[in-house]
């Protein structure tokens, strides 16, 4: 369960370039849910997803993740909970282009290639599941957008999280690849993962259980 209470995020506070990206977000996400977050460009979607993903703790208000208040956690505890609970798929993939698919998937494990049998087995299983098994040794720079998104999802899954947060996972993809990526996320949700998708595509939101709309940093 993820609970946000009156979450605010201001960039460059007090400066001429101050941006109040989130102005008091209240949101509860239940275990096993598949939620779409929709909103115009600049409305605060990525800011919200980064906070949900524990990638940004510079917010005001309360964020409780699986019963723990994120602000109350030490750096170490935060890193631990981020690793064990959350798999984040960043906007525009967030992959390291000049590294192989297998090494990209391994990044959250902080373990170099070829040293850990268990890790390699897991990478192989995830690659199989996501249809990129034949690409493991290929550099990410040589992949199509749809393939890159599959790698990003595999990387998000490597630490066996409970919650998958995806920022515009179909934003850079054509129709058929978008359909396939949403089908993968739906399948993961059916397996028990909580799935949160930021999107501006109503067709993607339609595949989710619930949609919330964010506008000017608040949920409508």
Ligand X SMILES: Nc1ncnc2c1ncn2[C@@H]1O[C@H](COP(=O)(O)OP(=O)(O)O)[C@@H](O)[C@H]1O
Question: Could you list the residues that contact ligand X (CB under 6 A)?
Answer: 11-12, 19, 21, 39, 41-47
Q: Are 118 and 75 in contact (CB under 8 A)?
A: no
Least separation in angstroms between residue 50's CB and ligand X is 8
Interaction partner, residue 44 (ligand X, Mg ion, none; CB < 5-8 Å by kind)? ligand X
Q: 41 is written with which tokens?
A: 């460009």
Alpha carbon of residue 89 to chain centroid: 3
Q: Are 51 and 58 in contact (CB under 8 A)?
A: no
Least separation in angstroms between residue 219's CB and ligand X is 12
Nearest to 96 by CA among 85, 104, 106: 104
Which residue, 41 or 74, is less far from ligand X as judged by CB? 41
Interaction partner, residue 47 (ligand X, Mg ion, none; CB < 5-8 Å by kind)? ligand X
- Measured from each CB, the residue nearest to Mg ion is 46
Interaction partner, residue 25 (Mg ion, ligand X, none; CB < 5-8 Å by kind)? none
Which residue, 189 or 199, is less far from Mg ion as judged by CB? 199
Q: Are 3 and 63 in contact (CB under 8 A)?
A: yes
Is 214 in a helix, a strand, or coil? strand
Residue 46 as a binder of Mg ion (CB under 5 A): the answer is: yes
Which residue, 9 or 122, is less far from ligand X as judged by CB? 9
Interaction partner, residue 178 (Mg ion, ligand X, none; CB < 5-8 Å by kind)? none
Interaction partner, residue 147 (ligand X, Mg ion, none; CB < 5-8 Å by kind)? none
Q: Are 127 and 63 in contact (CB under 8 A)?
A: no
Least separation in angstroms between residue 207's CB and ligand X is 20
Which residue, 42 or 112, is less far from ligand X as judged by CB? 42
Which single residue is written with the structure tokens 């590294």?
99
Which residue, 131 or 171, is less far from ligand X as judged by CB? 171
Q: Which stretch binds Mg ion (CB under 5 A): 42-50, 70-78, 120-128, 208-216?
A: 42-50
**Distance separating alpha carbons of residues 134 and 143, to the nearest angstrom:** 12
Least separation in angstroms between residue 96's CB and ligand X is 21
What does DSSP assign to residue 20? E
Whole-Å CA distances, 147 to 17, 122, 190: 37, 18, 22
Q: 91 is written with which tokens?
A: 């906007």
The number of residues that bind Mg ion (CB under 5 A) is 2
Can you point out the beta strands (E) in 66-193? Answer: 68-69, 86-89, 163-167
State the residues that interact with Mg ion by CB under 5 A.
Answer: 45-46
């Amino acid at each position: 369960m993820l609970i946000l209470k009156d979450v605010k995020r201001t960039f460059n506070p007090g400066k001429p370039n101050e941006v109040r990206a989130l102005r008091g977000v209240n949101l509860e996400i239940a275990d096993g849910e598949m939620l779409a977050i929709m909103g115009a460009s600049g409305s605060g979607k990525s800011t919200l997803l980064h906070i949900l993903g524990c990638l940004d703790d510079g917010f005001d208000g309360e964020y409780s993740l699986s019963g723990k208040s994120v602000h109350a956690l030490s750096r170490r505890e935060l890193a631990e909970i981020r690793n064990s609970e959350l798999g984040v798929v960043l906007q525009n993939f967030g992959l390291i282009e000049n590294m192989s698919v297998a090494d990209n998937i391994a990044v959250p494990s902080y373990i170099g290639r070829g040293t850990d049998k268990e890790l390699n087995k897991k990478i192989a299983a995830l690659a199989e599941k996501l249809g990129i098994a034949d690409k493991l040794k290929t550099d990410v720079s040589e992949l199509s957008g749809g393939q890159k998104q599959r790698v990003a999802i595999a990387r998000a899954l490597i630490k066996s999280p409970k919650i998958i947060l995806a920022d515009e996972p179909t934003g850079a993809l054509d129709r058929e690849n978008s359909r396939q990526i949403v089908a993968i996320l739906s399948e993961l949700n059916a397996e028990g993962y909580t799935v949160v998708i930021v999107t501006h595509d109503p067709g993607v939101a339609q595949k989710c259980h619930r949609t919330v709309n964010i506008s000017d940093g608040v949920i409508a």
